[in-house]
Amino acid sequence: MEQKNNQLDNFWRLTVSDALNLLQTEATGLSSAQADERLKQYGANTLKKAGRFNNLLLLLSQFKSPVTLLLIAAALLSAGLGDTADTLIIIGIVLISSVLGFWQEKGAAGAVNELLKIVQLHCTVLRDGTKAELEVTKVVPGDIICLSAGDIVPADCLLIESESLFVDEAAFTGETYPVEKNTGVVPASTSLAKRSNCLFMGSSIVSGIGKALVTQTGKNTEFGKISNDLLLKAPETDFEKGIRKFGYLLMEITLVLVLVIFAINVLLHKPVLDSFLFSLALAVGLTPQLLPAIITVNLSSGARRMAKQQVIVKRLSAIENFGSMNILCSDKTGTITEGKVNLKDTLDFKGESNDKVFTYAWLNARSQQGFANPIDVAICAAANRQEEAEAFSVIKEIPYDFIRKRLTVLLKTPASNLAITKGALSVIIDICNRVEVSEGVVEDIGNRKQAILDIYHQLSDSGLRTLGVAYKEVADDRAFTRDSENNMVFIGFVTLFDPPRAGMPQTIERLKNLGIKLKIITGDNAPVARNLAQQICFQSARILTGQQIRNMSNAALRHSAPLTDIFAEVEPNQKERIISVLKKAGNVVGFMGDGINDAPALHAADVGISVNSAVDVAKEAADIVLLNQDFNVLINGVIEGRKTFTNTMKYIFMATSANFGNMFSMAGASLFLPFLPLLPKQILLTNLLTDFPEMTISSDKVDDINLKTPQRWNLRFIQRFMIVFGLLSSVFDYLTFAVLIFVLHANEQVFQTGWFTESVISAVLIVLVVRTRLSFFKSLPGKYLSLVTIIILLLVLAVPLTPFAGTFGFTTLSWRYYLLMLGTVIAYILSAEVVKHWFYKRFLK
């Protein structure tokens, strides 16, 4: 077997028969039993690692924080000096925190993987001699796959058959123009870009049809050999950039705080090891350790809620961008319109109904073997001519592509060979030099061309999509190529219509109320687009055409694009340019597409959106897939995205304000107290207990005020929040210190127990205040947050009374302290309410 694998390394040098023999398969494909055996032998056709290794890496990643590793090392050093109890407590708390993070993230990842199975890619494979739709992961070496326009190539393959097959291999070669593929043999030394008889995993079929033999799967493919970062890493989202910058900010604050506090405590002749552990514990307390887990849990919870709304999230980080989106670009077919193209009429060159035009259009539509587009489906659905079809046989097809914008079929008829071309009216006119004026009577098109164009404009103004049909007799069928599409006879028009979806004006208004501006991008001409705008009450819509865009500089387009409502007559490559320009203007842009040529724009958008019925290349490029091609489904998804964003920001506000205040207070207190305000193990316990309520934040209620406008990451706003509420927290912390020292005359244990109790209770209760912009009584927390908050409050009050109190260095407190603490906490909560309303009024623009 190893020898066979070595021979297949350069499979492009093999003939088809040699490759079939080496892989012990036939042109009719593998049997199900053979395929099952090979799946066990070669493994799943995927680049992802096995689950157990992912779980191990996920668990180890919980300890990757340098502060956590330093804390464990210092605790072990403490054990070496004889303080085993403290060492076990510190390591135990770190382990509990890390395992909680692992458990949360693992559960979230598992839930998302289940959702992704809904939109898994499939391919057509010959199994047991018949065509079958299989998951791409189940493809094995020796399979025979059938490919057509819009498919993603599932593995490295050797071509067996091809018909005008053009493939996008930009990911491998950097060449953006599609390359033609043909059967044959090329030398073993041929470079990847010139292996014309091969198809590579991850490339996509632009046009034509083909049949291929799978030779390599998974990591053995060219795709698998190239760096994962180069091909698989998605661009960083705005939210991810914000989190990264936020992390840098915390690292800077933490580093300065740790060094200063450690140095001062040592200068004050406090034990060096205790001072070091105290400084590290402060760093842990300041750092929101569960932030990665909280973000993952929030996103996965959001993904599950969105799935209930028929929105499947393929990339979790895209949820945040979904909530931040303020511009949505969409094709009109199937989103703005019903997506059910209907044949209106077939007309001759004078604009009168003509049955011969219908016959030729139908022959062209039914004979094509490539991507089944809605126009051909509509034409065939309107016909009932099976007997007539039997008189024609297909000799050759030149498939539709986005350069020629036409489809030609060569048919053998009883009288002659007939080439019939159907496509965009402008390109059909350009390849015609004659026009059929009546049955069998042909004249020069020169004098008729303007009249034909006038009729075309009239039809377009009435909202009809209009194509042209042409034909010519061909003497030598073998010599017919793309270059032969000339000197044809124009026979007439095909008119089609796709009515707008019911309730579209109301949907557009809903988008507007959510702060999202809809922009329609379509290949249809400007009159058709303008008619649609009128039907959906898109008042005073500004239209920009592909020709105008072509003549614009990027600076001019950057100025015009945000002001434009409809982009008409747009070429495929212009979609990506429009998206990029809108992004550079400071917008978060979503793009909704489902076609072969939409992949670049889907990649370029902040949020790529497709539908489950889309072609593979569009579905693979998308971040989010809709199970229902309805804008209202998308709107529901946007709302869920904003809920997820809001709940994630809640955790950041809670963690940074409370942690910053508490740690700043303890750092300051350590400078004037003869003992540490809290022992390292007590700080870690405080941090762990305050994290529990925050872990439920993904299920918390979200106020309507947070759903009305796009949510954007704002590091400056977070900094201000952290400083204002951190300082407010410190004011009441120092008030607590004063009560403990000057009123209760507390010793070390009483001070630490009292400060621990007040610190946790105030941090847990302040969550209920900072979680909302509204008054606490107008926005009550979710049931899980409420339940966990009550449990933690009772636990904290009970800790000094438990047998473990002495282990942590706690003691019992007097009833006087609890009364004074109650007053302090109430004053803190009320002050926080007042400051909150001032803060949002002052800083939220």
Catalytic status, residue 703:
no
| Pick among 2.70.150.10, 3.60.90.10, 3.30.1330.10, 3.90.1150.10: CATH of 2-52+120-231 | 2.70.150.10
| Pick among 3.30.70.260, 1.10.760.10, 3.40.50.1000, 3.40.50.300: CATH of 312-338+501-627 | 3.40.50.1000
Asked if pLDDT for residue 638 goes beyond 60, the answer is: yes
Judged by average pLDDT, the poorest of 88-97, 467-476, 606-615, 770-779 is 88-97
Asked if pLDDT for residue 19 goes beyond 70, the answer is: yes
Q: Taking the CA atoms of the chain, what radius of gyration do you get in angstroms? A: 34
The domain limits of the chain are 2-52+120-231, 238-304+641-843, 312-338+501-627, 344-497
More confident residue, 214 or 625: 214
Query: Hey, what amino acid is at 37?
Result: E
| 660-672 per-residue burial string, b: 16 or more CB within 10 A, e: under 16 | bbbbbbbbbbbee
Pairing state between β 144-148 and 488-497: unpaired
Most confident of 548-557, 695-704, 776-785: 548-557
Mean pLDDT calculated for residue range 544-554: 90
Q: Report the SS3 class of residue 207.
A: strand
CB 344 within 8 A of CB 496: yes
Asked if pLDDT for residue 533 goes beyond 90, the answer is: no
Q: What is the pLDDT of residue 461?
A: 87
pLDDT category, 228, cuts 50, 70, 90?
very low
Most confident of 555-564, 649-658, 681-690: 555-564
Q: What is the pLDDT of residue 436?
A: 94
Q: What is the pLDDT of residue 5?
A: 56
Mean pLDDT calculated for residue range 551-559: 90
The percentage of the chain sitting over the pLDDT mark of 90, rounded to a whole number, equals: 25
Q: What is the pLDDT of residue 296?
A: 72
Mean pLDDT calculated for residue range 48-53: 53
Question: What DSSP line would sit under 354-404, residue for residue?
Answer: -HHHHHHHHHHHHH--S---HHHHHHHHT---HHHHTT-EEEEEE---TTT
SS (H, E, C) 684-714: HHHHHHHHHHHHCHHHCCCCHHHCCCCCCCC
pLDDT category, 792, cuts 50, 70, 90?
very high
Mean pLDDT calculated for residue range 330-351: 84
Mean pLDDT calculated for residue range 10-23: 90
Q: What is the pLDDT of residue 71?
A: 57
Mean pLDDT calculated for residue range 277-285: 69
CB 800 within 8 A of CB 782: no
Q: Which CATH class is domain 344-497?
A: alpha beta
Mean pLDDT calculated for residue range 311-327: 83
The structure's pTM equals 0.75
More confident residue, 145 or 476: 145
Asked if pLDDT for residue 355 goes beyond 50, the answer is: yes
The percentage of the chain sitting over the pLDDT mark of 70, rounded to a whole number, equals: 85
Judged by average pLDDT, the poorest of 96-105, 243-252, 374-383, 665-674 is 96-105
Q: How many of the other CB atoms lie within 10 Å of CB of 304?
A: 17
- Helix, strand and coil percent figures for the chain, each rounded to 5: 55, 15, 30
- Smallest CA-to-CA distance from 308 within 636, 42, 7 is with 636
pLDDT category, 537, cuts 50, 70, 90?
confident
Q: What is the pLDDT of residue 101?
A: 61
The CATH fold assigned to 238-304+641-843 is: Calcium-transporting ATPase, transmembrane domain (1.20.1110)
Q: What is the pLDDT of residue 673?
A: 81
Sequence-ordered strand ranges (E) for 182-261:
198-199, 204-216
* DSSP secondary structure letter of residue 49: P
More confident residue, 250 or 325: 325
More confident residue, 167 or 434: 434
- Smallest CA-to-CA distance from 288 within 660, 796, 646, 718 is with 660
Pinpoint the alpha helices (H) of 123-237.
Answer: 170-173, 222-225, 228-231
Catalytic option among 86, 151, 331, 733:
331
Q: What is the pLDDT of residue 394?
A: 84
- Smallest CA-to-CA distance from 285 within 752, 664, 692 is with 664
User: How confident is the prediction for the chain on average, in pLDDT?
Assistant: 82
Q: What is the pLDDT of residue 793?
A: 94
Q: What is the pLDDT of residue 152?
A: 85
Instruction: Judge whether 238-304+641-843 and 312-338+501-627 match in fold.
Output: no
CB 331 within 8 A of CB 522: yes
